[in-house]
Structure 1
Amino acid sequence: MTERVDETWGSDMTETITTIEGRAYVFIAVDHCSGEFVGAHAASGASRWEALEPIR
């Protein structure tokens, strides 16, 4: 944990299957100090570039 907001963020990804679109990847980012939600992004691919989208 950190003592200042916007110092350290955590991220995670999950994969799900949809009946129409197929695979979908959901990326999230959370501030470690405040626990606040920073951003989210859903995509059909799981590249390193897609993983950066929640913090843009």
Structure 2
Amino acid sequence: MTLVTKDDDFLLRHPPVQSRLLWLRCGNISNRGLRLWLDARWPMIAERLDQGDRVIEVR
């Protein structure tokens, strides 16, 4: 399971134990903008997930 959040204090309050955390650092953004933003970064995200990283901060 991978949790996805934009909340900057989520990591401190809910450290991933059994799951992974994908922390999106994109600020306030529309759904369409978020999709475009994620599409551009997805190769890096997928690589880090494949490597088993537990916390991935995406800027």
* Larger Rg over CA atoms: 1
TM class, shorter-chain normalised? under 0.3
| Greater percentage in helix | 2
- TM-score between both structures, scaled by the size of structure 2: 0.23
